Amino acid sequence: MTKVAVWCRHEGDNIIGIGQNIPWNVPSDFKKFARIVSGHNIVVGRPTYETLPPKFDKEKIFVLTSNPEYEVKNPKLHQVITNLKMFKDFAEDLYISGGAGVYQQFMEGGSKLIPEVIVDCIYHGELQQIEGKPVDISPCIEIMHKKYLQVGTEYEEDNVTTRIFIRKGEFVDQSVLKNIIECIIHH
């Protein structure tokens, strides 16, 4: 079982959103994200879940929320989770896909929750002017710089740099890494 965090952040300020919106539009980056997480167990917070496009309705998704009565779009494949600790001994690969609070809970959650792999995408362009509060993942980036090592090369596409990090001292299933790299380099 491997935990993989996948995020895209803005260069310099680590913003991943403004309010409920991503303040850039890079279709190739979203397609890359979809290729990486599709077919895997995905965990997201409720606000992120509510912004996922319909193409994710057929994916297995765990929605992390404090509301046990929250109604998911597809009860056969989507499940409400109110306690992050449920993932400590999760037997399958898990792709942590946002938002900022979910990333931070996993990154600060101790050795059984912190991801073994991070797919770190950095957008280098200008942010769109959108109403709302900026949402950043700076605490996660600080942890990444302290506890992870970059592996392989950086991949550039459409003003987005993608890097892969592995937690120091971890053995990572090579098939997981191979799949991630293939998803990044094959458009």
- pLDDT band per the 50, 70, 90 thresholds, residue 169: very high
Please check the confidence at residue 87 and state whether its pLDDT lies above 80: yes
The answer to whether the predicted template modeling score (pTM) of the entire model surpasses 0.75 is yes
Q: Over range 24-33, report the average pLDDT.
A: 96
* Mean pLDDT computed over 60-80: 97
Q: In this model, does residue 187 exceed pLDDT 90?
A: no
Per-residue confidence band for 13, with pLDDT thresholds at 50, 70 and 90: very high
Whether the CB-CB separation of 82 and 68 falls below 8 Å is answered with: yes
Reduce the secondary structure of 106-158 to three states and give it as a string: HHCCCCCCCCCEEEEEEECCCCCCCCCCEEECHHHHHHHHHHEEEEEEEEEEC
Rounded Cα distance, 50 and 35, in Å: 20
Average pLDDT over residues 70-75: 96
**Is residue 38 packed enough to be buried (19+ CB in 10 Å), middle (13-18) or exposed (0-12)?**
middle
Question: Of 69, 72, 51, 70, nearest to 60 (Cα)?
Answer: 72
What is the pLDDT, as a whole number, of residue 186? 82
Q: Where are the domains of the chain?
A: 3-185
CATH architecture of the domain with range 3-185? 3-Layer(aba) Sandwich (3.40)
Whether residue 99 contacts residue 17, with contact meaning beta carbons closer than 8 Å, is answered with yes
91 pLDDT band, cuts 50/70/90, is very high
How do residues 36-57 score in pLDDT, each as one tens digit?
Answer: 999 999 999 999 999 999 999 9
